[in-house]
Amino acid sequence: MARNIKYKRILLKLSGESLMGDKEFGIDQKILDYFAGEIKLIHELGVQIGIVIGGGNIYRGLSASEQGIDRVTGDQMGMLATIINSLALQNTLENKGMFTRLMSAIKMEEIAELYIRRRAIRHLEKGRIVIFGAGTGHPYFSTDTAASLRAVEIEADAIFKGTRVDGVFDSDPEKNPNANLFDEISYMDVLQKNLRVMDLTAISLCQENNLPIIVFNMDVPGNLYKVITGASVGTAVGNFKPKEEIKN
């Protein structure tokens, strides 16, 4: 393993919407190829990589009620959407020469291994990229929460949340050109300022387990590699002093 790696084992969280590219729904193979190329750069450094990907490009459980579908059924449909995305990413990673395992929180033996914590850790130790599908396996929990849970379980050094913006801002940078980017911010500030880095349950789980979250722009080539090697990219969320305390 290279000496300049800051993180040995990570959980990479990607949104399902990011797979759409310029499409209105579905999967853009060019985006998959790009993500796989970025992941390969850090995989070749010896980084142990777990991945959780959402399903919003295929189905959104939260909007299911508008179609007369109850929340539990809608969330279960969303879990299956994450499996579709996970299979697509797995296929692309393996086409680029990486060994992977897809582990599901719900039983589907013909498609994926059932998630078992010790087995997942063993796969990581053997250099396999582990993709965690089907969320937590339970309704009412987002894939952000699933990412936090899996990261804690596999004892990851950090969660890397790949987004389409440069990190955490004090307001939406896509709506406010004067939004300020934070280099680092506390869990408490994220919660109190409602900055929507991840949902409440996910942030609380990271806070309780002192698990750092690195929010960065996945659309910028080389950013993932830069973060892994300790470059100042994106925003670090952790047990920092709240901004008000720093001012005092």
Task: For residue range 95-108, list pLDDT tens digits in order.
Answer: 999 999 999 999 99
Between CA 229 and CA 47 the distance in angstroms is: 10
Question: Taking the chain, what is the end-to-end CA distance rounded to the nearest angstrom?
Answer: 42
Determine the pLDDT at residue 63. 61
| Segments of 15-108 assigned E as strands | 48-53, 100-104
Between CA 4 and CA 28 the distance in angstroms is: 33
Determine the pLDDT at residue 248. 38
Which of the 8 DSSP states describes residue 106? S
Q: How confident is the model over 174-179, as a mean pLDDT?
A: 89
Determine the pLDDT at residue 247. 45
As its CATH architecture, domain 9-247 has: 3-Layer(aba) Sandwich (3.40)
**Per-domain boundaries in the chain:** 9-247
Question: Per DSSP, what are the bridge partners of residue 14?
Answer: 53
Percentage of residues in the chain having pLDDT higher than 70:
93
User: pLDDT at residue 131 above 80?
Assistant: yes
Which of the 8 DSSP states describes residue 242? P
Amino acid at 1: M
* Mean residue pLDDT across the chain: 92
